[in-house]
Structure 1
Amino acid sequence: MGRRAIIFHGTRADPRWIWYPWLADRLRARGYDVETPHHPGLNVDPIETFLPTVLGAHTFDEDTVLVGHSGGAALLLAVLEHIDVTVAQAVLVGGYCTNPNPGPEPVLQESYDWDAIRSHARDLVYLNSVTDEAGCDAEQGRAMFDHLGGTLVVRDDGHFLTDTLEIADRLIL
């Protein structure tokens, strides 16, 4: 099995939107087998019932790179906590570990086993913005970094809704 990447879209999003197809193409050109699943239940269904669906739909191994945006990045925290292998890398774009907004965030767990999450990714990268209109800002990135270590990259790029995301492509192994 070769290098694989799974790109998880954000809340109420679609894998055909914004930079997701662009990054998938870039990674394929670099030799990755890329999955861009559509999970409409993301951040709609409670994580307790949604997570088993995600875990059952994908295979994770030491050559897997996980990329998540917004709610998809928050999902990666739960995925990493509950898998039984160590993936190559997890890149959380506009991610968060506490509720960034008023209102429910069903993708978030009540608590996290930070040691388990850390042990299930050889490399963790957080890409957050000081001007994130969705509240998934640099403080959220710092909170994840403080719990897990890794690399925190802070930009001034809003909620990362552009058609391309060069910085993410450069950060992926």
Structure 2
Amino acid sequence: MRVYIVHGFDSSPDKNWFRWLEDKLKKKDISVDILSLPNPQNPNLTKWIATLDSSIKLGHETYLVGHSLGCITILQYLQSKAQKTNTKAQSMTDKKNIIIGGFVLVSGFYESLSILPQLDSFLKPPLDFTALKALSPNRVVISAKDDMIVPTELSKNLSHKLSAKFIQTQNGGHFMESDGYTEMPLVLESLEAMFKK
């Protein structure tokens, strides 16, 4: 099994709870890659997808973890991979060539963020949720009620669109170091549940 962790806006592999999760998974003999995305202070979707494309090996035992902007980056990447393999004039849901074990999206969104309008470029093209649901049997979205960056309703909307399990905590903010989060047991537990299926 292999887990890929995708950080968000103005972040890096060494921030928040990413190294903690890496350590916990490696102790279980699971391969982990925390991707370092280019220019995180001024992110570009095309360049971020290219990084995922060159780093991730898709397969039944591949699991993706995203935080914040990393979540929609994962979804746009998966959608682009599905479209590239769909050479015939049939819907992506008819071809299930691209399948991953599962994904966990922390503080994810697919709608515009009022406080970060510069990230709107990541919202296009629109996501094909029917196709995305067909790519993985295990989908989890995690959000805190007091998230001031990505309002919890936006994460809830994403979970509904993906027919994903929605885990909502009373507090936690945006699950960053500044919110006191250098560990993220909920993500580890969600992954472990997927591994057992």
Query: Which residue matches 2:105?
Result: 92
Counting aligned pairs with the same residue, the percent is: 21
| Structure 2 contact 37–48 (Cα < 8 Å) conserved | no
Supply the distance in 2 between the matched residues of 1:22 and 1:138 (Cα, whole angstroms): 24
Supply the distance in 2 between the matched residues of 1:118 and 1:11 (Cα, whole angstroms): 25
Q: Counterpart of 2:126 in structure 1: which amino acid?
A: S
How far does the alpha carbon of each residue in 1:99-136 deviate from its partner, in whole angstroms, 9 at most, with x for none? 122421133224111111111122110001111121x2
Query: Which residue matches 2:151?
Result: 137
Displacement, 1:58? 2.0
Displacement, 1:137? 2.6
Bigger helix share: 2
Find out whether 1:147 has 2:166 as its counterpart.
Answer: no
Query: Which residue matches 2:92?
Result: none
Aligned in 2, Cα 1:10/1:45: closer, same or farther, shift over 3 Å? Answer: closer
* Cα root mean square deviation, aligned: 1.7
- 3-state SS of 1:35 partner: strand
Supply the distance in 2 between the matched residues of 1:119 and 1:50 (Cα, whole angstroms): 23
Aligned in 2, Cα 1:109/1:43: closer, same or farther, shift over 3 Å? Answer: farther
Supply the distance in 2 between the matched residues of 1:74 and 1:42 (Cα, whole angstroms): 14
| Structure 1 contact 80–121 (Cα < 8 Å) conserved | no
Displacement, 1:49? 4.7
Aligned in 2, Cα 1:13/1:45: closer, same or farther, shift over 3 Å? Answer: closer
Which of 35, 38, 49 is the equivalent residue of 1:37? 35
Moved more, 149-158 or 97-106: 97-106
Q: TM-score, normalised by structure 2?
A: 0.80
**Long gaps (5+) in structure 1:** none
Query: Which residue matches 1:107?
Result: 122
Which portions of structure 1, spanning 4 or more consecutive aligned residues, are displaced by more than 4 angstroms? none
Aligned in 2, Cα 1:107/1:42: closer, same or farther, shift over 3 Å? Answer: farther
| Structure 2 contact 129–162 (Cα < 8 Å) conserved | yes
Supply the distance in 1 between the matched residues of 2:123 and 2:81 (Cα, whole angstroms): 16
How far does the alpha carbon of each residue in 1:63-101 deviate from its partner, in whole angstroms, 9 at most, with x for none? 011000011112111122122411101100011111122
- 3-state SS of 1:132 partner: coil
- 3-state SS of 2:142 partner: strand
Q: TM-score, normalised by structure 1?
A: 0.90
Mapping of residues 3-82 of structure 1, within 5 Å: 3-42=1-40, 44-82=42-80
Aligned in 2, Cα 1:45/1:19: closer, same or farther, shift over 3 Å? Answer: closer
Query: Aligned residues, how many?
Result: 170
